[in-house]
Amino acid sequence: MPYQPPTALPADLLKDEEMQRALAGHDFGTVFRLARSRAGIAYARTAEACDIKPIRVGEVARGQGRITTFAKVVAIADAFRVPGHMVGLAPRPWEDSGAPGNVNDPKNGTAVRRRTVLQAASSVGLAATLPALHRPASPLHVTSGYVDQLRQRTARLRCLDEILGGGDTYRVYLGEYQSTKALLRDATFTPESRRRLVSLLAEQAQQAGWAAFDGGRPADAESLYKESKAAASEADDSDLLGNALAFLAYQAPDPQVAVELAANSCATISHSTPAGVRALLHERLAWASAVAGQASRTEKALHAAHAALEEQPVGEPQPDWAAWVDETELNIMTGRCWTELRRPLRAVPVLIRALDRYDDHHARDKALYLSWLADSYLAVGEVEEAAAVTGRALSLASGVASVRPRQRLTPVLQELQQHRGLGAVQDVLQLAAGA
């Protein structure tokens, strides 16, 4: 049975000063109580609409705890049709001019770090894809043509991930996901248009989950990946189902669980799976296997990934979400895997060749990839080379709202501390301290 959202809050209730104070202060216990007492919206309906456990809604309504995660705040606003400005979302850490790592402009007080990133977006023509870009007006009846419009918009917004970190893109992608989720609740469809929209929801959940992971929100990422898995299954989209499992594997803390999930993702591959998707799923299995120390399985998965790209039929269409997978990316993954397996003599040459072809425009990703090269250099005692590569990675990662480059570079910097007597190491340690 299609989900039915709760009745929208009456306009006069949204104007009520008590409700406004509760929304602005994220006092959702009061919001829930007022919705029930003044609009007749039961806690059970609220729980269903906001994707919150019923017992949790009751607890919050009784003043036992608060709801603070951004995803849940967005869900509440969406469920009750509350205008976004009324929920008064607090600024994110990287938008706070007083946050560590931000440099303030003495003339206007804005954070240079944030401004620089958005200027970079404008310089490559991506400003038009920021949240100000209008989403097509939601129709009462959704056609396949309208779903195509939304899918094209999703592809445009995905371009943001090329230069911005998840800290900057998470709200954009989560908002798209929430809007599509609301459309599925409110509109009517043909069976095919609904299936295609559910497939798009799975894709958008993956993009939002990736941004959450990149922005330091692993719990939100896991939740979104699981939502994507369920939606992909409902839409009978085996490619997106495989990718959801691959995403879950990528951030699984237990290496053995990660290998199992990645293997299950590869099990979704069929004769109709595009080459790029096959390569993507196999390379994620290779990575999980490398982290688990399974060298032979890693090599087998890498071979399957390379074979998928080599055997790709000319002109075969690839889904936009997998279009980034090419020989350069796969060679970088190969080098990463050999680094994890402590095979630096195999890792260094392939990483050097691949990274020489990898544009600095992809600053976050190149910074990440360079960290594995620095790691391998350290493993063979090339300390100065490791320091030089680390310094380059730090410079690329500066100003990008992603936690992952620094997470990857931290152990490298800790190992470099043992060689602080070298001038090249002193320089990079000073750069890291000021970053």
pLDDT tens-place values along the chain, 435 residues long: 444 444 555 666 667 778 877 876 778 888 888 888 887 888 888 887 787 888 888 889 888 887 866 567 767 766 666 654 454 433 333 334 343 333 333 333 333 333 343 433 433 333 333 443 456 677 889 999 999 999 999 998 998 898 889 988 998 899 899 999 989 988 999 999 999 999 999 999 999 999 999 999 999 999 999 999 999 999 999 999 999 999 999 999 999 999 999 999 999 999 999 999 999 999 999 999 999 999 999 999 999 999 999 999 988 999 999 999 999 999 999 999 999 999 999 999 999 999 999 988 889 999 999 999 999 999 999 999 999 999 999 999 888 889 999 999 999 999 999 999 999 999 999 998 876
Residue tagged 């989209």 (tokens):
237
What's the pTM? Answer: 0.72
With beta carbons less than 8 A apart as the criterion, state whether 26 and 74 touch.
Answer: no
Q: Which tokens in the block code for residue 82?
A: 């509350």
Residue 373: closest CA among 354, 355, 348, 342 = 348
Contacts of 117-126 with CB under 8 Å at 24 or more apart are 117/163, 117/164, 117/165, 117/168, 117/399, 117/400, 117/401, 118/168, 120/163, 120/164, 121/160, 121/163, 121/164, 124/163, 124/361, 126/159, 126/160, 126/163
Give the separation between CA 284 and CA 276, rounded to whole angstroms. Answer: 12
Give the separation between CA 11 and CA 274, rounded to whole angstroms. Answer: 49
Contacts of 338-342 with CB under 8 Å at 24 or more apart are 338/290, 338/376, 339/372, 339/373, 339/375, 339/376, 339/379, 340/287, 340/290, 340/291, 340/372, 341/290, 341/293, 341/295, 341/298, 342/379
With beta carbons less than 8 A apart as the criterion, state whether 225 and 247 touch.
Answer: yes
Give the separation between CA 189 and CA 143, rounded to whole angstroms. Answer: 7
Q: Which tokens in the block code for residue 301?
A: 């998965």
